[in-house]
């Protein structure tokens, strides 16, 4: 997976153009990065991957799958919150829709892996309350054979799931894992604040969202199950934006679904 400097959005003009493609009814996949992400830290980058009816065909051979992935990556933008600051959320697209409007809209579905820290950071740093969220971590918990097992933060579970359902070849998986390790384990904790952004950081951001549609497809549930996951995702946002929530504390590890589906 190549670095994606052309996907970096660090000016209001580029942001306006990108936001214009996110309209009511669209589905987006999002990932937030920052130093100590939460009310006591920063939001440095927001990566958004846009889907509007593109079908992911698991029967594709490796060459066609790579073409499909390239098309998916073309729908990805990395918004530089550090560079744009408040303008990232207040700049209007040609359709008069701001990023704040999009994040708060219940009519734009947003898939994210573990919404808690991002929801806390958005609320306390920018007065933005996420809506229309489906937490993929909860979706994963709902579809597991043993729902009584803890949810935990499950970062390792996230990577395991993506490997299981993505189109990545072995070489691509190795590159993705190497990029993850460089960014998450070996780099300066304040890597998100450094400018210019390194190519490994950009690759990491794209990798965090571009495979999520396939993961969501693999975790597909019926309408009743989706409603339950949506409800629990909303409750997570409620708790994360409450005054008593501490984003730096050990996260609640209990699955909300118990034994009853």
Q: For residues 71 and 62, what is the distance between their CA atoms, to the nearest angstrom?
A: 14
| DSSP code string of 83-98 | HHTTHHHH-B-TTS-B
Looking at the predicted structure, is the pLDDT value of residue 232 above 60? yes
How confident is residue 234, by pLDDT bands cut at 50, 70 and 90? very high
Q: What is the DSSP pairing of strand 109-112 with strand 8-9?
A: unpaired
Q: How confident is the model at residue 71, as a pLDDT?
A: 53
Flag whether pLDDT at 259 surpasses 60.
Answer: no
Query: Residue 17, exposed/middle/buried by CB under 10 A (0-12, 13-18, 19+)?
Result: middle
Can you tell me whether residue 161 is helix, strand or coil? helix
> What is the spatial distance between Cα 48 and Cα 17, in angstroms, rounded to a whole number?
13
Superfamily of domain 5-239 in the CATH hierarchy = Ribonuclease H-like superfamily/Ribonuclease H (3.30.420.10)
pLDDT of residue 173: 81
Q: What is the mean pLDDT of residues 221-247?
A: 95
Strand locations in 22-153 (E): 27-33, 45-51, 76-80, 109-112, 133-135
DSSP 238-253: HHHTSTT--TTSPPP-
Q: For the chain, state the CA radius of gyration.
A: 18
Element (H, E) at 219: none
Whether residue 149 is predicted with pLDDT greater than 60 in this model: the reply is no
Identify the pLDDT of residue 180. Answer: 87
Q: Which residue has the tokens 């400018």?
A: 195
Distance CA 57, CA 64 (A): 10
Cβ proximity of 3 and 203 under 8 Å: yes
Q: Tell me, what's the pLDDT at 55?
A: 44
Distance from C-alpha of 21 to C-alpha of 59, rounded to nearest angstrom = 29
The winner for highest mean pLDDT among 58-67, 105-114, 150-159 is 105-114
Domain ranges of the chain: 5-239
């Amino acid at each position: 997976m190549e670095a994606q400097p052309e996907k970096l959005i660090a000016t209001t003009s580029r942001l306006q153009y990108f936001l214009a493609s996110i309209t009511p009814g669209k589905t987006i996949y999002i990932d937030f990065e920052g130093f100590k992400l939460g009310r006591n830290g920063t939001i440095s980058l927001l990566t958004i991957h846009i889907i509007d009816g593109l079908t992911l065909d698991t029967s594709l051979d490796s060459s066609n799958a790579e073409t499909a992935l390239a098309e998916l990556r073309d729908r990805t933008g990395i918004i530089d919150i550090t560079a744009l600051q408040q303008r990232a959320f207040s700049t209007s697209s040609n359709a008069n829709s701001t990023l704040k409007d999009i994040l708060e809209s219940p009519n734009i579905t947003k898939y994210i892996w573990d919404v808690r820290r991002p929801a806390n950071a958005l609320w306390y740093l920018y007065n933005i309350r996420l809506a229309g969220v489906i937490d993929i971590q909860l979706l994963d918990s709902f579809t597991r054979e043993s729902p009584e097992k803890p949810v935990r933060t499950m970062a390792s579970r996230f990577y395991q799931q993506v490997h299981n359902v993505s189109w990545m070849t072995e070489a691509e998986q190795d590159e993705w894992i190497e990029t993850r390790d460089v960014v998450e384990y070996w780099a300066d904790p304040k890597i998100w604040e450094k400018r210019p952004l390194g190519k490994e950081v950009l690759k990491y951001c794209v990798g965090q969202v571009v495979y999520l549609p396939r993961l969501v497809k693999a975790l597909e549930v019926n309408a009743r199950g989706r409603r339950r996951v949506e409800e629990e995702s909303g409750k997570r946002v409620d708790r994360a934006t409450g005054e008593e929530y501490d984003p730096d504390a050990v996260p609640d590890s209990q699955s909300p679904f118990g034994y009853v589906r």
